[in-house]
Amino acid sequence: MQTGFLPLCRADMEKQQISQFDFVYVIGDAYVDHPSFGHAIISRILTANGYSVGIISQPDWKDAESVRIYGRPRLAFLVTAGNMDSMVNHYSGSRRRREKDAFTPGGVMGKRPDYATVTYCKLIRRAYPEAAILIGGIEASLRRLAHYDYWSDRLKPSILLESGADLLLYGMGERSILEAAEALDGGLSVRDITFLNGTVYRTEKKEDIYDAVFLPGYRTLQADKLNYARSFALQYQNTDPFHGKRLAEEYDNGLFVVQNPPAKPLSQQEMDDVYDLPYMRAYHPSYEALGGVPAINEVKYSLVSNRGCFGGCNFCALTFHQGRIVQTRSHESIRKEAEQFTRDPEFKGYIHDVGGPTANFRAPACDKQLKEGACPKKQCLFPAPCKNLKIDHSDYLALLRELRALPGVKKVFIRSGLRFDYLVNDPDKTFLRELCEYHVSGQLKVAPEHISDAVLKEMGKPGAAVYRRFAREYQEMNVKLNKRQYLVPYLMSSHPGSTLKEAVELAEFIRDLGYMPQQVQDFYPTPSTISTCMYYTGVDPRTMEPVYVAKNPHEKALQRALIQYRDPKNYGQVVEALTLAGRTDLIGYDRKCLIRPRQSDKETQALVSRQRQEQERKGKPKKKTIRNVHKKKMK
Span 24-71, pLDDT tens digits: 999 999 999 999 999 999 999 999 999 999 999 999 999 999 999 999
Helix axes of 268-275 and 331-342: crossing angle, nearest 10 degrees: 20
Return phi, psi of residue 217, to 5°. -65, 160
- pTM for this one? 0.92
DSSP element (H, E) containing 233: helix 225-236
Write out pLDDT tens, residues 589-624.
Answer: 988 999 998 866 666 667 666 766 776 776 654 444
Distance separating alpha carbons of residues 363 and 369, to the nearest angstrom: 10
* All residues at 6 or more sequence positions from 44 whose CB lies less than 8 Å from its CB, including other chains: 33, 277, 278, 279
- State the pLDDT at residue 600: 63
At 40 the pLDDT is 98
- Kindly list the domain boundaries of the chain, sorted by start residue: 10-201, 301-440, 442-582
Enumerate residue ranges in the chain where pLDDT < 50. Answer: 621-635
Q: Where are the alpha helices (DSSP H) in 498-601?
A: 500-513, 530-537, 553-563, 571-580
Q: What pLDDT, on the 0 to 100 scale, is given for residue 618?
A: 67
| 10-201 shares its CATH topology with 301-440 | no
Q: Does domain 10-201 fall into CATH 3.40.50.280?
A: yes
Q: Length of the chain in residues, anyone?
A: 635
The CATH architecture of the domain made up of 442-582 is 2-Layer Sandwich (3.30)
CA distance 534 to 520: 21
Nearest alpha carbon to residue 84 among 96, 92, 73, 76? 92
Give the DSSP letter string of 332-362.
HHHHHHHHHHHTSTT--SEE-EEESSSTT--
Alpha-carbon gap, residue 475 to 486, rounded angstroms: 8
Per CATH, the number for 301-440 is: 3.30.750.210
Please give the span between the terminal C-alpha atoms of the chain, in angstroms, as a whole number.
86
pLDDT at 416: 84
